[in-house]
């Protein structure tokens, strides 16, 4: 298993500003994932972050809006840029360990945009 | 296109009243089906992985089963602490390894 620390746990932001979410893992992992969970919805993958390469974004998500950093094997950040109320969601960091597809999740960042 | 559908959306049970949650999936070559539990304000917590039809796994009051088209999460004699949203996700061979999640079933168990 993996212990994932994510911060901030929640934030209230003004329209047009940006927020950077941090994800720290207690072990080295190759792949880290960022998910979004909109109110009443399930989880949608935003992007996959591999250390040493550019993040891979899913359809509907672009780097200018959700830039991602992955400086080492235990840390990643997701920035939500130029926020609007539609960005109000829970953002979740997850990692894959053990050579299989079992994902472990952080506790999430509850973002509200006014 | 890979798709996961969970039913019901919400389920209310009395303590001790057993029931089942359903996860129907359409994927190109299932490589794994996952069940997660999510409490309000928290990230999903891993419960089970099932890899092939006929496989079953148990944990306390929960039992997950898998067929070629669906999975069930059976809850036996539930307690109020089992109240949560239960998420089903599939990993298929048609993508890069990402999980496709269903909408979830929100379970409420009343004492």
What average pLDDT does the segment B36-46 reach?
A: 91
Which chain A residues have a beta carbon less than 8 Å from that of B42? 107-108
Distance from CA of A49 to the nearest CA of B (A): 12
Residue A93 to residue A78: CA distance in whole angstroms: 9
Is the CB of residue A53 less than 8 Å away from at least one CB of chain B? no
In the predicted structure, residue B19 carries a pLDDT above the cut 80: yes
What value does the mean pLDDT of chain A take? 92
**pLDDT tier for residue A65 given thresholds of 50, 70 and 90:** very high
Distance from CA of B19 to the nearest CA of A (A): 22
Two structure tokens written together for B62: 């929960």
Query: In the predicted model, what is the mean pLDDT of residues A46-71?
Result: 92
SS3 content of chain A, % helix, strand, coil (to 5): 5, 50, 45
- Given a contact cutoff of 8 angstroms between Cβ atoms, the answer to whether B41 and B77 are in contact is no
Asked if B103 and A42 come within 8 Å (Cβ–Cβ), the reply is yes
Whether pLDDT at B92 is above 80: no
Looking at the partner chain, which of B46, B97, B101 has a beta carbon nearest the beta carbon of A42?
B101
- In A, minimum Cα distance to B40 occurs at A107
Q: What is the pLDDT of residues A2-34, one digit of tens each?
A: 889 999 999 999 999 999 999 999 999 888 999
Q: Residues 6 or more apart from B79 whose CB is under 8 A from it? A: B15, B61, B109
Do A14 and A75 contact (CB within 8 A), yes or no? Answer: no
Pick from A12, A5, A28, A16: nearest CA to A83:
A16
pLDDT score of B94 more than 70? no
The shortest CB-CB distance from A105 to any of B31, B44, B104 is to B44
């Amino acid at each position: 298993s993996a212990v994932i620390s994510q911060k901030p746990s929640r934030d209230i932001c003004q329209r047009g500003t940006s927020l950077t979410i941090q994800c720290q893992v207690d072990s080295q992992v190759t792949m880290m994932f960022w998910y979004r969970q909109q109110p009443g919805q399930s989880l949608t993958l935003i992007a996959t972050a591999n250390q040493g390469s550019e993040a891979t974004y899913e359809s509907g998500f672009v780097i200018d809006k959700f830039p991602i950093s992955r400086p080492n094997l235990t840390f990643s950040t997701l920035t939500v840029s130029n926020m609007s109320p539609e960005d109000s969601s829970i953002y979740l960091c997850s990692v894959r360990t053990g050579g299989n597809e079992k994902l472990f999740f952080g506790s999430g960042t509850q973002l509200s945009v006014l | 296109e890979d798709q996961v559908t969970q039913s019901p959306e919400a389920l209310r049970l009395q303590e001790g009243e057993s029931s089942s949650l359903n996860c129907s999936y359409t994927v190109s070559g299932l490589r794994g089906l996952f069940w997660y539990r999510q409490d309000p304000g928290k990230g999903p917590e891993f419960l089970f992985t099932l890899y092939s039809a006929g496989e079953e796994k148990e944990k306390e009051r929960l039992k997950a089963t898998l067929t070629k088209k669906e999975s069930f999460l059976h809850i036996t004699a539930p307690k109020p602490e089992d109240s949560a949203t239960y998420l089903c996700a599939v990993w298929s061979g048609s993508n890069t390894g990402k999980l496709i999640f269903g909408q979830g079933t929100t379970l409420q168990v009343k004492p």
